[in-house]
Amino acid sequence: MLLLSCTADGDFYVTGVSLNKTDLTLEAGRKETLVATVEPLYVADKSVTWSSSSNTVATVNNSGEVTAVNDGTAIITVTVATQDGNRSASCHVTVTSPPKAQVRFQKLNASNVTRLRVRRSTDGETLVEHNFGAGNGTSSYYEIPAGQHRPAYYELDANAWKYNTSISTYNFQADSKYTVIYDGSQNTLSVTKDGISYARDDGTAETGWRANSSNTDDFWMGNQFTIDESLILTSIDVYGYYASNNTNSRVYIDIYNSQRTLLGSSASFILPNNSWINVPVNNIPCSGTFYVMVRWPGNSTTHYLGMDTNGPHANYDLAWIRRNTGWILMRENNPDDANARGVFLIRVHANILTK
Ligand SMILES: [Ca+2]
């Protein structure tokens, strides 16, 4: 038999409240929302009040969202009023310290202000900006706020600053941009300027390919890369292979992830005559398998995209074509053409995001 408290006009009385969790552990800076269930389920007025036993450890808002503030423990309580007085339920919250990240700099001249920017690696959104301020010879450090360490990367707009930690010293050059890389533990920041590059070709093109100028749709050719590290792509080198006429159409680079979702594109550029061109891309986060594809708009006339057919990766099936939404290996698209068995002269420049 089901027992209910009921008023004369048919409304039900509140009899109690429960929470979806009785224990919760959070890193400082993180949030989680607790769910309160007012009993019985079909009562009309489900209003509750939330409180924390220690707002210096964890706070809670009117919606049950708990924010971890500092190390320690706190009890989050939700309370409802019943006919017989208040009923409550509680959750024990333990707040732990996230790893700390500090950056320390010493300024070598007073002419410029240097800014540290923390950006989220997944979408590049700026989370934190900190100006170190002017000051000749001034030492300064900045502790990155809790909860914003990972996934993130740290970008320094540097002008004659000296990076100084117990493990390394780095002299920044004026008017350069650096990426500060944080590996998750205190004082283990490293700095890259030029980053690293990945080549799948041997540096010499034996042949080249371009979109047929009679194509009216976009057409892509490029390389698949599979990389162990998580990267921020900064630029792409592309080798243009000489064609005799009509070579001034502009092309683009599109970066796709392993699901062939577009991650980002370059500005337009012209494939050069038997030389490399460095094409910037806007700090595109990448990991695992990704594709670097040159895009020819319809009716383009260009030099060829260089292909290496005799290097160490030439037989690895890394060269792809995309036409509309269809992707096919170069080799499968041109089964009788030995010139389609190779890898394009496309190289990736990147900063390593995590070790
Ligand atoms: Ca070669």
Which of 217, 228, 218, 163 lies closest to 193, judged by CA?
Answer: 163
Q: What is the pLDDT along the chain (355 residues), one digit of tens a residue?
A: 444 444 444 567 888 999 999 999 998 778 899 999 998 888 878 889 999 999 999 999 999 999 998 889 999 999 998 888 899 999 999 998 765 444 555 454 444 556 666 665 556 667 667 666 665 555 555 555 555 544 455 555 544 344 433 333 344 443 344 455 444 433 334 444 445 678 888 889 999 999 999 999 999 999 999 887 677 888 999 999 999 988 999 999 999 999 999 999 999 999 999 999 999 998 888 888 999 999 999 999 999 999 999 988 899 999 999 998 899 999 999 999 999 999 999 998 887 654 3
Tokens of 105: 């700099």
How many Å lie between the centroid of ligand 1 and the Cα of residue 205?
5
User: Residues lining ligand 1 (ion), CB within 5 A?
Assistant: 202, 204, 308, 310-311
Q: What gap in Å lies between CA 271 and CA 294, rounded to an integer?
A: 10
3-state secondary structure 94-136: EEECCCCCEEEEEECCCCCCCEEEEEECCCCCEEEEEECCCCC
How many Å lie between the centroid of ligand 1 and the Cα of residue 346?
12
How many Å lie between the centroid of ligand 1 and the Cα of residue 307?
7
Give the helix/strand (H/E) hosting 333.
Answer: helix 330-333
Q: Quick one: 252 and 109 in the same domain? A: no
How many Å lie between the centroid of ligand 1 and the Cα of residue 211?
21
Cβ within 8 Å of residue 141, ≥6 positions away:
102, 103, 104, 105
Q: What gap in Å lies between CA 110 and CA 216, rounded to an integer?
A: 56
CA angle centred on 43, ends 42 and 47, rounded to 5°: 125
Tokens of 294: 């040159």
Q: Quick one: 233 and 261 in the same domain? A: yes
**Domain limits for position 138:** 102-193
Which of 283, 297, 149 lies closest to 210, judged by CA?
Answer: 297
How many Å lie between the centroid of ligand 1 and the Cα of residue 237?
16
Tokens of 135: 């000051």
Q: Quick one: 263 and 138 in the same domain? A: no
Query: DSSP assignment of 61-84, as one string?
Result: -TT-EEEE-SSEEEEEEEEEEETT
Q: What gap in Å lies between CA 137 and CA 108, rounded to an integer?
A: 5
Q: Quick one: 296 and 170 in the same domain? A: no
Tokens of 340: 């389609």
Q: Quick one: 296 and 347 in the same domain? A: yes
Are 353 and 230 within 8 A, CB to CB?
yes
How many Å lie between the centroid of ligand 1 and the Cα of residue 316?
14
How many Å lie between the centroid of ligand 1 and the Cα of residue 305?
13
| Residue 335 domain-assigned (yes or no) | yes
| pTM of the predicted structure, to 2 decimals | 0.50
Are 121 and 232 within 8 A, CB to CB?
yes
Q: Quick one: 215 and 346 in the same domain? A: yes
Q: Quick one: 306 and 320 in the same domain? A: yes
Cβ within 8 Å of residue 142, ≥6 positions away:
102, 103, 116, 130, 132
Q: What gap in Å lies between CA 275 and CA 269, rounded to an integer?
A: 13
Looking at 147, 168, 193, which one is the last position of a domain?
193
How many Å lie between the centroid of ligand 1 and the Cα of residue 302?
21
Place of tokens 């009385």: 13
Q: What is the DSSP letter of 264?
A: E
Q: Quick one: 208 and 340 in the same domain? A: yes
Q: Quick one: 211 and 347 in the same domain? A: yes
